[in-house]
Structure 1
Amino acid sequence: MGCKIHALNSPILCKFPTIKARVAPKSISFVSCSSYAQNDGELASTAAATQVPLSRPNAYRVDFKTLGACKLGISRYPDFEYNAQGGTGRGQGSVASNGDLTREILVSFDLDTLYIPSLTSATTKFLGLPLPPFLKIDIAPQLFEGKICEESGKVNLQFKAKFCFSVGSLYRAPPLIVETVLTSEESKGTVRGGRGERLDEEGNCRLVGVASVDPIDDFLMNSFLGLPTECLADLNAVISLSSSS
């Protein structure tokens, strides 16, 4: 029986070195795989790409619409209640190369497509009453461009337009030149001021801008409006961004 015990133990003692020899290559193989991934340019590039967020477009189509519940004011007169429903505009946008993490889109609107409704008895009220039937103020945009911050919804758009007053065919004043920055932030002058609202997920925003208005070559308008003075634009709008590709 003593011989049988020794016979059973001998094979077990001989297998231990074999087991250790098989474990060692596994450890070596793991280190080698890590080193290969670091040295191989193609695999390293693929690994880096998986850490980058999904790409977003660099070129955009920009659509602009004006809504109701807007206001326009000049001098110290009470604000006009202005329904700008139906105003439209179309432009292009491109991502600004500002070198930081803030993604700003530079936008420029095509003046041929930009339409802002006139102030008439159908669109405008003053002290709760519609404007007189023959009084009309046309708005002729000359510039509309600026920046939109995609992350925060902040909007700053340079706006320049001619405001043309007329009373039927009897009277037409020289145009008033209004130039301001329509912003989703606060705009404040000496007499006028307002605060906008940033773009939400549906593109809704409120843009405000205070502008200085210089006298024109018309004694009646200068006296009536108290020029030079300030005016306020308060527009309820929708701005939509979509890939242009």
Structure 2
Amino acid sequence: MNYHQNFFLKPQNPCTNIIHHLPFTYSFSQAKVHKTNHIQASSSSSPSPYPVYVAHRSYNQDSCRVGRRQTRLFSKEKRRLQRMIPSARETHENTASITKETQELKSLSSYKIEFKTLGDCKLGIGRYPDFEYDAKGGFGTGIGKYDDDLNGKIMVNFDVDKLYVPPLTSGTTKFLGLPLPPFLRIDIVPDMFSGSIDKETGKIDLEFKANFWFSMGTIYKAPPLLVSTMLTSEESQGKLRKGRGKRLEKDGKCKLVGVATVDPIDDTFMNTFLSLPTECLAILNATISLS
């Protein structure tokens, strides 16, 4: 019976010379039986007194080819992943780009507002005919902020310390087609000017509060008349007065109207002359720019 026997080949074994001249690398074992060619350890056909050795051909050309293929596949996949994963420099550049875009969006949500009054305006009080008022030259600046909670309206707040509204004088105002007497003057001192502007629809609602100072030269100066109204691009209507404005156009022009109630003051002459309390009406042509 042929069998495997675990041991190292010794020089005195005659079969060693045969094994050494084989063109492959061989291993010898007794543990497993393999389908291989049996090599008789003798030069004749007669049984050899030495054990029969089974030579196992163990060169791994197929294994090497598979290993090389796997290595190539691994290298290719590694290069693909390296292209997918951004480098530290790319990550830094992307982060900087996102930060810049965020800052640009934040800057776009804030606006600088410029307000200018134009000519062909009107002011009316009580049952008197309207005053023809040329308000050209009035101006003011403010800050607007975009507000998502108010359906995208821009909340506007003007600096009343820098808000200028031209006074009613003989140079700016006419009554019944005639200029006001030179000694008559009404100064307008704003206390509040703020509200909302809908940039998409052009609708404007601005709350306006101001003191109107009536004077006749140095002879007479009445206590201020407090006027509080909502200047709007829509319709404003009271019991005696009403008016309709115009929404903000692409060129920045608009018409703002407001009806307010004027309460009596501590002055008998003014209360009697103006029939206070009563209503007043303001119609202002203006331009509003957002930048």
TM-score of Structure 1 vs Structure 2, range by shorter chain? 0.7 to 0.9
Q: Distance in 1 between matches of 2:238 and 2:160?
A: 27
In the superposition, the TM-score normalised over structure 1's length comes to 0.75
Match in the other structure for 1:145: 194
Choose the corresponding residue for 2:133, options 54, 79, 82. 82
Q: Distance in 1 between matches of 2:161 and 2:274?
A: 30
Question: How far off is 1:96 after superposition?
Answer: 1.2
Question: How far off is 1:97 after superposition?
Answer: 2.8
SS at match of 2:161: coil
Q: Aligned-residue CA RMSD in angstroms?
A: 1.7
Q: Does 1:186 align with 2:235?
A: yes
SS at match of 1:190: coil
Match in the other structure for 1:57: 108
Question: How far off is 1:184 after superposition?
Answer: 0.1
SS at match of 1:146: strand
Deviations 1:188-217 (A, max 9, x none): 000000000000001100000000000000
Choose the corresponding residue for 2:245, options 179, 185, 196. 196
Identity of aligned residues (%): 63
List 4+ stretches of structure 1 deviating above 2 A.
none
SS at match of 2:190: strand
Q: Distance in 1 between matches of 2:245 and 2:204?
A: 9
Question: How far off is 1:112 after superposition?
Answer: 1.6
Match in the other structure for 2:259: 210
Question: How far off is 1:240 after superposition?
Answer: 0.3
Choose the corresponding residue for 1:120, options 169, 173, 176. 169
Deviations 1:135-190 (A, max 9, x none): 00000000000000010000000000000000000000000000000000000000
Q: Distance in 2 between matches of 1:152 and 1:71?
A: 25
Q: Which has the larger radius of gyration?
A: 2
Specify which structure has the bigger relative contact order, considering alpha-carbon pairs within 8 angstroms and separated by 6 or more residues. 1
SS at match of 1:221: helix
Q: Distance in 2 between matches of 1:113 and 1:232?
A: 24
Deviations 1:85-112 (A, max 9, x none): 000000000011317xx32000000012
Match in the other structure for 1:71: 122
Q: Distance in 1 between matches of 2:206 and 2:240?
A: 22
AA paired with 1:198?
A: R
Long gaps (5+) in structure 2 = 1-103
Question: How far off is 1:121 after superposition?
Answer: 0.2
Q: Does 1:238 align with 2:290?
A: no
Q: Distance in 2 between matches of 1:126 and 1:132?
A: 10
Question: How far off is 1:114 after superposition?
Answer: 0.2
SS at match of 1:98: helix
In the superposition, the TM-score normalised over structure 2's length comes to 0.63
Q: Distance in 2 between matches of 1:122 and 1:91?
A: 28
Q: Distance in 2 between matches of 1:75 and 1:153?
A: 30
AA paired with 1:219?
A: T
AA paired with 1:92?
A: I
May I ask how many residue pairs the two structures share in their alignment? 190
AA paired with 1:201?
A: K
Match in the other structure for 1:97: 148
SS at match of 2:270: helix
